[in-house]
């Protein structure tokens, strides 16, 4: 009867090497409570808790709602601001709010409101402390 010990050791070594080669996806999340309905990409979302997730490996920012169908993903770029804040910024025109940008620490989405500078707006910020 042949010993299977060398095969076992080799199999364990291969599994350990494979485990070290896998990069875990590291993501941070914060939950923000938005007290009003708001629009994103032409869709009106209800007031409530929204999770902002930052993916460190790919610089994605994700907005997730309580409803599983609410999921938006943007490629974020470094901001000029040295910040440790997580913020959702909105354009407010009357009772209508439109998501303008999402910031997670020093990463920020491109402008999400495509109306440009033609619209006069008041920027409201929602951060975890509010």
Rg of the chain (C-alpha set): 22
Q: Phi and psi at residue 48, in whole multiples of 5°?
A: 150, -165
What is the average pLDDT value for the chain, to the nearest integer?
A: 76
> pLDDT > 70: what percent of the chain?
65
Task: Name the least confident of 35-39, 53-57, 63-67, 110-114.
Answer: 110-114
Apex 27 CA angle, 23 and 30, nearest 5: 170
- The percentage of residues in the chain with a pLDDT greater than 90, rounded to a whole number, is 32
What's the pLDDT score for residue 113? Answer: 72
Q: How many residues does the chain have?
A: 130
| Placement of tokens 């920027």 in the chain | 123
Model pLDDT, residue 21: 42
pLDDT tens digit sequence for 10-45: 555 555 544 444 444 456 889 999 999 999 988 999
Structure tokens at 19: 């485990």
Q: Find where tokens 């364990």 sit.
A: 12
The two structure tokens encoding residue 11: 């199999």
Domains of the chain by residue range: 25-126
């Amino acid at each position: 009867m042949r010993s299977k010990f060398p095969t076992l050791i080799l199999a364990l070594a291969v599994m350990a090497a494979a485990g070290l080669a896998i990069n875990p996806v590291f993501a941070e999340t914060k939950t923000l409570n938005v007290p009003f309905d708001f629009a994103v990409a032409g869709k009106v979302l209800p007031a409530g808790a929204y999770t902002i997730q930052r993916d460190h490996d790919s610089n994605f920012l994700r907005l997730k709602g309580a409803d599983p169908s609410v999921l938006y993903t943007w490629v974020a770029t470094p901001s000029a601001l040295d910040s440790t804040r997580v913020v959702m910024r909105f354009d407010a025109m009357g009772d209508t709010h439109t998501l303008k940008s999402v910031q997670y620490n020093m990463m920020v989405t491109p402008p999400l409101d495509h109306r440009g500078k033609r619209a006069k707006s008041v920027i409201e910020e929602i951060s975890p402390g509010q």
